[in-house]
Amino acid sequence: MSKVEITEGAERKFAADRMLGRLVKWLRVAGCDVIYGAHLSGYGLIRAARAENRIILTRDRSLKQKQPPPFIFLESDRYDEQLRQLIRDCGLKWGERLFSRCLLCNSVLQARSKTTVEKLVPPYVYSSQERFSWCPACRRVYWPATHQRKMLDALEKIAAA
């Protein structure tokens, strides 16, 4: 297994192998910058990681024969154990970056005033929520809700296990 040293406070940027969809979702919940897509495996993954100085996350044992940039081989098939490995091996943390990225496309979310999202969200959401943000790339609107609390609880449970 290769270890990647990451200095404290530096932003961790990742490029995830296409088989790591569940892990990617949780990394984005935690606010990590992680790219992911059907084209990201093998040499495509290596090229993308190199172009943006990203650390590769992979389950592909053959990757290291392709002379990749720094990578982390994830030992488990399970996303919760993969997350724990990243917490342990590269000090993955969340905090104020939590829920700061679009879960679908990885863009950084921007705050939106309530009146500007009136036509973009269901009426019950509009009437019950005060704070909104949105993804400038895919235009999805986000608001704090019970599912965010549940996600945070799940994340903390994974980290504590």
Question: Contact 34/48 with Cβ under 8 angstroms?
Answer: no
Closest distance to Zn ion from the beta carbon of 137 (Å) = 5
Comparison of 21 and 66: residue with beta carbon closer to Zn ion: 21
Comparison of 71 and 132: residue with beta carbon closer to Zn ion: 132
Q: Which two structure tokens, joined as six digits, stand for 140? A: 């999805």
Q: Exposed, middle or buried, 157 (CB in 10 Å: 0-12/13-18/19+)?
A: exposed
Q: Which of 36, 70, 41, 74 is nearest to 53 (CA)?
A: 70
Does residue 109 bind Zn ion (CB under 5 A)? no
Q: What distance in Å separates the CA atoms of residue 73 and residue 47, rounded to the nearest whole number?
A: 17
Query: Which residue from 102, 109, 151, 155 is in contact with Zn ion, where contact means CB under 5 A?
Result: 102
Which span (36-44, 58-66, 94-102, 123-131) binds Zn ion, by CB under 5 A?
94-102
Comparison of 51 and 137: residue with beta carbon closer to Zn ion: 137
Q: What distance in Å separates the CA atoms of residue 157 and residue 40, rounded to the nearest whole number?
A: 29
Residues in contact with Zn ion, shown as a per-residue x/- string from 121 to 150 under the rule CB under 5 A: --------------x-xx------------
Q: Which two structure tokens, joined as six digits, stand for 90? A: 């590269």
Residues in contact with Zn ion, shown as a per-residue x/- string from 17 to 56 under the rule CB under 5 A: ----------------------------------------
Q: What distance in Å separates the CA atoms of residue 114 and residue 32, rounded to the nearest whole number?
A: 26
Q: Which two structure tokens, joined as six digits, stand for 147? A: 């599912």
Comparison of 40 and 46: residue with beta carbon closer to Zn ion: 40
Question: Contact 17/60 with Cβ under 8 angstroms?
Answer: yes
Which span (44-52, 56-64, 81-89, 102-110) binds Zn ion, by CB under 5 A?
102-110
Q: Which residues form the interface with Zn ion (CB under 5 A)?
A: 102, 104-105, 107, 135, 137-138
